[in-house]
Structure 1
Amino acid sequence: MSSVLVIGDSEFEAEVLNATQPVLVYFWAEWCGPCRLMAPVIETIAKEYGDRLKVVKMEVDPNPESVKKFKVEGVPAFRLIQDGEMKQSAEGAMNKQKIEELLNKGLVTA
């Protein structure tokens, strides 16, 4: 079973903006090669950080509202959101260490 929750625009407010813990939003696309490479890394992050972070996955094409709101210009894209505010942001394929650095910067205040 996946630790990553797949959501759409209609669930974004409830699952991300109103979440009681920080949320890593992973924006991806079916046609994106680097996104497929990121999938196992995202699963691992979700398992390892599960006690202090929620990880959600959102496909960009069917969810234009969230893509626009969080200024996603390319995929894969990552947004760390806490208390309804974006704390960290990155775009492009990254290794696990880079994602952990992004999270550790953003989760310091968590």
Structure 2
Amino acid sequence: MRVKLKRWLREGVVLLLIAAAAMLVMDQFRKPTLPSAFVSTPLQTQDGQDVDLAAMSQERPLLVYVWATWCGVCRYTTPSVAKIAQEGGNVVSVALRSGDDETLSTWLARKHYALPTINDAQGQLAKSWQVQVTPTLVIVSKGEVKSVTTGFTSGWGMKLRLWWAGI
């Protein structure tokens, strides 16, 4: 019995390492090549507030979260992003092709998400940023992109990336 348990444990660890390596490789292929003007892109939230990514990231790292209401993986990551924002985290979200302002506002209200949200209704912003996968998370610190990742990321993973960018 003890020999079987050791073998299962060893095989489990190997499987986890292979899965982690595969996810890292996939992430490298899927992440966008952001333009040099990424942080200087003029943006405005749904409620009319101007957003300056470079300025917002000067004091503490900023999480730019590109997501969509129709994205299956976003159903699991958006609550974590909303919680970080609720806890006072430095967050701005970009809703990709998720309807007009009214539709998006209704969806956010129904989910009880209080996020500063930029509506990219036609996907023009995502196209200029070369974002092809939702969710995409970009960490910006002092006006520089520090990290870009795509797909599922846990809340603690997001917090760890923000912390790492701030040191």
Q: Which has the higher contact order (CA 8 A, sep 6+)?
A: 1
Aligned-CA RMSD value? 2.4
Evaluate the alpha carbon distance shift between residue 96 and residue 89 of structure 1 in structure 2; reply closer, same or farther with a 3 A threshold.
same
Higher strand share: 1
> Whose Rg is larger?
2
CA displacement 1:40-91 (0-9 Å, x = unmatched): 111222234x2xx421111122264432444322011101113332111111
The Cα shift of 1:35 comes to 0.7
User: What's 2:85 paired with?
Assistant: 46
Identity %: 27
TM-score (norm 2): 0.49
Evaluate the alpha carbon distance shift between residue 69 and residue 96 of structure 1 in structure 2; reply closer, same or farther with a 3 A threshold.
same
User: What's 1:103 paired with?
Assistant: 162
The total of aligned residue pairs comes to 97
Distance across 1 between alignment mates of 2:128 and 2:141: 15
Q: Which runs of 5+ in 1 are unaligned?
A: 1-8
Higher helix share: 2
TM-score (norm 1): 0.70
User: What's 2:72 paired with?
Assistant: 33
Secondary structure of 1:18's counterpart equals: helix
Q: Which runs of 5+ in 2 are unaligned?
A: 1-41, 98-120
Moved over 4 A (4+): none
